[in-house]
Amino acid sequence: MTTTELSERPPFRDRRDAGRALAQALASYANRPEVVVLALPRGGVPVGFEVARALAAPLDVFLVRKLGVPGHEELAMGALASGGLRVVNRQVFDQLPDARAILDRVTFRERAELERREREYRGDTSPPAVTDHVVILVDDGLATGSTMRAAAAALRQQHPARLIVAVPTAARSTSAQVASHVDEFVSLTQPDPFFAVGASYENFSEVSDMEVRSLLSEAARPA
């Protein structure tokens, strides 16, 4: 785990600047055909684009939808990820009456939204193979880390050879939690105290769907 402390000025100009810095920490994975970079949209895509370009690795998105308890959506009973992979939070699921029916109903709704977003970003292109590959899972930062943990758990079901989570910034407590679920965890900064992911960026403007599509299209073009 690589860490540096924040100075008064944010360490990154924007997400692409952060991606270039993150790529340097991942340089040992450059030019390896088994490496694939997966970014959590939308904010993780500009970061992942720079990482993938520097490592000469393919880039794709990996979507995760939280499966919230109806009426208490902030309470996750599981998560649904790209490829239809479902992860169940047994601590919540086992406490629900008629849990299976509730989970299936929410899954049906969230799967439709996940598939819509995948069509929005990927079109008819199939997701990359990750089985027996080295997967670098990227986002623009980790606050609670719940989405990243769900993504890592879902990817584990596809049996990658090695699973790496790489982010420019993360809360320290979250870093320890996520690191315990993956083979390698890379975070360039772990501010203490941690206020928000955006505090590590001079420009943390929202990433649009159009920008995501544009970056994925550019990454897919031959060098």
- Asked whether the beta carbons of 200 and 141 are under 8 A apart, the reply is yes
pLDDT at 223: 65
Over residues 204-217, the mean pLDDT reads 95
- Residue located via tokens 């920008």: 211
pTM for the whole thing? 0.88
Domains and CATH numbers, the chain: 15-62+127-220 (3.40.50.2020), 64-122 (3.30.1310)
State the Cα–Cα distance between residues 12 and 110, nearest whole angstrom: 34
Lowest-pLDDT range of 15-24, 48-57, 72-81: 72-81
In the predicted structure, residue 83 carries a pLDDT above the cut 80: no
